[in-house]
Structure formats: C-alpha cells, structure tokens
C-alpha cells in the first residue's frame, strides 16, 4: 500500500483493502488510507466499535449527536448501503466517492434523486419534496411562510413533472438537473480532490 501513511495495523470491522476501494472510487490508494484514519476517529467518537453510528455522524456534521434532522437522517441512510444501522469503512469511502470532484455527474444526479426519494418508491412525490425543503430550510435556520414553501414546491413540480402524473421520475429529475446544475453543486466537495492534504495530521512527520 505504498507505506505513505501511518495506518494502524488493528483493522476495524468491515475493513476493506485500500487498493480495492481505490479501484472502485475516484480516490487514490493514499487518499483511501487517509480516509481510513478519518473513519477511525469518527467511529470512536461516541461508540468504540469501529463503525459509524448515526450519533457519530451527527456529531461530525453538526457537533450535536442528539440533533434530529431529516436531511442528516437521509445522508446516513444513503451511506448505510447495507441498511444495517451502521456505516462501515467500505460504505464510507464508496459514498464519499460520489462527492469527489472527479466523480461522474450521473452518480451525483442519482444520489441527489435518492436523497429526495424518502420512501424509496423510485419517484419523488410532492410531499417528499416539501419535507426536504422544510428540512433544508431548518438546517439553514431560514424561516419561510407556508404559502411561500408551497409555492416553491408547486413551481418545482410544474417545471419538472413533464409527464404530469404528480410525481418526478429519474428521467425527469436528470433532465431538470442538467438544465439547473446548481441543484447538485453541494454534491461536490473540493477538498476530496486530495484528502491527504485536507487532513495533513494523518501523514507521518517526515511526510508532513
């Protein structure tokens, strides 16, 4: 694995080789090793069991393990690929890979669609969109009137629901995002371009 980083030999549950994860994601082997160190810190922040629980993700995102937020819940659910209530290392790396600047746009579009598809029906329904809009406004500490929120939802559906069936499918969503790329701007995290530079403390003293 190149020996660039000081990776702890005590492997956590669900550990996967960096070379394998690098082959399946935009990350280099060196960056996967850096993510392993980050993952270990997160997975031991509340529970000492080597996997990330929802409380630990909330603590990392919001500095509050007791905070409840639909947006945060959806992020956790989408990272939890095995749907077993925890995030393992391989799931962490593969999910973060979607946010890499080099990740295919279609992967970002698909992830964003699943984010809004709260009930996992394969469609975004009006109620789901409204719930997510409310959650995002709450996270941004913005307060809008019910009428304005409803107007946002109605306008979005009028633009996106080209089939007029009261729901947004993946094809309609993709077409809408391609016309409005700013919708997935937050699906790219620039610092993931070189995660080892974003977290230099993971490098050995000589490497730093």
| Per-residue model confidence as pLDDT tens for the chain (208 residues) | 444 444 444 677 778 999 999 999 999 999 999 999 989 999 988 898 899 998 888 877 766 666 667 778 888 999 999 999 999 999 999 999 999 999 999 999 999 999 999 999 999 999 999 998 888 787 777 888 889 999 999 999 999 999 999 999 999 999 999 999 988 988 898 888 877 665 544 333 333 3
Residue 203, pLDDT score: 38
CA-wise closest residue to 184 among 102, 131, 112 = 112
Residue 191, pLDDT score: 81
Residue 190, pLDDT score: 86
Distances (CA, A) of 194 to 49, 96, 101, 204: 28, 13, 10, 16
Q: How far apart are CA 132 and CA 31, in angstroms?
A: 32
16: which residues sit within 8 A by CB, 6+ positions away? 89, 90, 93
The CATH number of the domain covering residues in 105-187: 1.10.238.10
Residue 206, pLDDT score: 37
For the chain, give every residue range classified as CATH 1.10.238.10.
Answer: 18-97, 105-187
Where is 167: in which H helix or E strand? strand 167-168
Number of C-beta neighbours around residue 148 at 10 A: 11
The CATH number of the domain covering residues in 18-97: 1.10.238.10
115: which residues sit within 8 A by CB, 6+ positions away? 74, 75, 78, 132
Where is 168: in which H helix or E strand? strand 167-168
């Amino acid at each position: 694995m190149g020996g660039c980083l000081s990776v702890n030999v005590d492997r956590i549950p669900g550990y996967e080789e960096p070379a394998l994860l690098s082959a399946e994601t935009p990350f280099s082997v060196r960056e996967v090793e850096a993510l392993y160190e980050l993952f270990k810190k997160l997975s031991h922040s509340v529970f000492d069991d080597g996997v990330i629980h929802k409380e630990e993700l909330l603590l990392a995102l919001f500095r509050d393990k007791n905070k409840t937020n639909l947006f945060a819940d959806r992020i956790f659910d989408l990272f939890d690929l095995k749907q077993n209530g925890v995030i393992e290392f391989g799931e962490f790396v593969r999910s973060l890979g979607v946010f890499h600047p080099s990740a295919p746009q279609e992967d970002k579009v698909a992830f964003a669609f699943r984010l809004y598809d709260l009930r996992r029906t394969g469609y975004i329904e009006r109620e789901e969109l409204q719930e997510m809009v409310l959650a995002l406004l709450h996270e941004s500490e913005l307060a809008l009137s019910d009428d304005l929120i409803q107007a946002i939802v109605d306008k979005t559906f009028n633009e996106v629901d080209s089939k007029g069936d009261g729901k947004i499918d993946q094809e309609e969503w993709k077409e809408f995002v391609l016309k409005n790329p700013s919708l997935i701007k937050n699906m790219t995290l620039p610092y993931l371009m070189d995660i080892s530079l974003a977290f230099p403390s993971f490098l050995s003293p000589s490497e730093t």
